[in-house]
Amino acid sequence: MVTFKHTQLKNGMDIVAEINPDAQSVAIGFMVKTGSRDETDDVSGVSHFLEHMMFKGTSRRSSADVNREFDAMGARNNAFTSNEVTCYWAHILPEFLPAALDLLADMMRPALHSDDFDMEKKVILEEIALYLDRPGHVLYEAIMKDHFGRHPMAYSILGTKESITALTRDQMKTYFDARYGPGNMVLAVAGKMDFDELLRLSEEKCGHWIYLDVQRQYPAAEIKGGRRHIADPKLKRHYVALMCPGPSAQHDGRYAAQVLADAVGDHEGSRFYWALVEPGLADEADFSFYPHDQVGSFFAYASCDPARSGQVADILQSELKKIILHGLTDQEISRSKNKIATAAVLQGELPLGRMRNICSRWIYNKEYKTLEEDLQLLESVDAAAIKKVIQEYPFDPITTTTLGAGPSDGRVATA
């Protein structure tokens, strides 16, 4: 039987665990409630840069030691940084859980050597240059700035060439000291484990860390909408993005919003697919829902031949207007729920998927839900729930940002 446990160490470190005695593996991760939205202009990109540095060694281990130990466990391991969280994880056989906890906990107290910092800065700058050659990335970062304006969600995860070049090791250390600790961090484990042993080891490895009273800022998102075109004469395709407000990670309508987004813009069988991709008007077209911390958004994206740019943009807007006027059919709702449920079950069959689920839920909402409870909430979505979301978030105001050949206006005009 699957059981959930939550314990807080004396220093305020939250430990959440979903124990499944029938599992054949276990996943463990530290998730820190920090990302690009928590940065300032002078340290833009530091969260992602710091993620790289966490693998560069500690007072006990070199970077080679870190890699060798993960490899010796046969671990699947990695890390990621988003606008709002940074996560470090490993998926291993149960007998390696103590070793994985020891290694990950040690990594959470990195050495941040100056020579490693200088070397990794070059890697980050190369990564920025690489992503600047990807139109989808350029367009997404541009529309985030256009849509959110002065709100912290507009901040780039990678930072800029200028901000990373100017960033110092001491600035990174100050940022780390202010955010990486109990009170702003969760240790999550899912799969087969001895929970009492997990607690003992957690106290041993993390119990001496100092509690941090970190308060994320939640300014109001003043969305005005508008239009902007970014010119790049090298491009042979035209790219268009639309963004408008949606439910947050705390909003009761987030399940309905997920179903709505799938029905409108999943890569197969959606409204956008049949209107744009299947008839060959666009190479790709999708519609996504992003539930962030206390703020959310809907995001539409399409790429096409420049000669069809106006037609594709009109169809995107037209399909959204149809949704506002008529909602979704029962068949569309049922089909989308089935696809989302299948994806959730497939992910939930692995401890790694469950670990990330329970960890992020705790970060955002201090709550736990079983996979079955999640599926029940999804199944409860009906036409009335979809209509309620559309009424509260009627795809307005809408921000439009395009990328391709043609003159750039370099501004956002109020719609």
pLDDT tops 50 at residue 115: yes
Residue 410: pLDDT band (50, 70, 90) is very low
Residue 406: pLDDT band (50, 70, 90) is low
Strands 226-231 and 399-404: parallel
pLDDT tops 70 at residue 62: yes
Domains and CATH numbers, the chain: 3-206 (3.30.830.10), 226-404 (3.30.830.10)
How confident is the model at residue 405, as a pLDDT? 85
pLDDT tops 90 at residue 157: yes
182-204 confidence digits (pLDDT tens)? 999 999 999 999 999 999 999 99
pLDDT tops 50 at residue 149: yes
Q: 303-319: b or e for each residue (b if 16 or more CB lie within 10 Å)?
A: bbbeebbeebbebbeeb
Q: What are 284's two structure tokens?
A: 């790709």
Q: What are 290's two structure tokens?
A: 């992003």
278-307 confidence digits (pLDDT tens)? 999 999 999 999 999 999 999 999 999 999
How confident is the model at residue 407, as a pLDDT? 61
Tell me how far CA of residue 225 lies from CA of 201, 244, 415, in angstroms: 51, 8, 6
Q: What is the mean pLDDT of residues 1-28?
A: 97
348-405 confidence digits (pLDDT tens)? 999 999 999 999 999 999 999 999 999 999 999 999 999 999 999 999 999 999 999 8
- DSSP letters, 267-323, are TTTSHHIIIIITTTS-SEEEEEEEEETTEEEEEEEEEE-GGGHHHHHHHHHHHHHHH
Residue 412: pLDDT band (50, 70, 90) is very low
305-338 confidence digits (pLDDT tens)? 999 999 999 999 999 999 999 999 999 999 999 9
Q: What are 325's two structure tokens?
A: 């006027």
> CB-hemisphere CA count at 13 Å for 22?
5
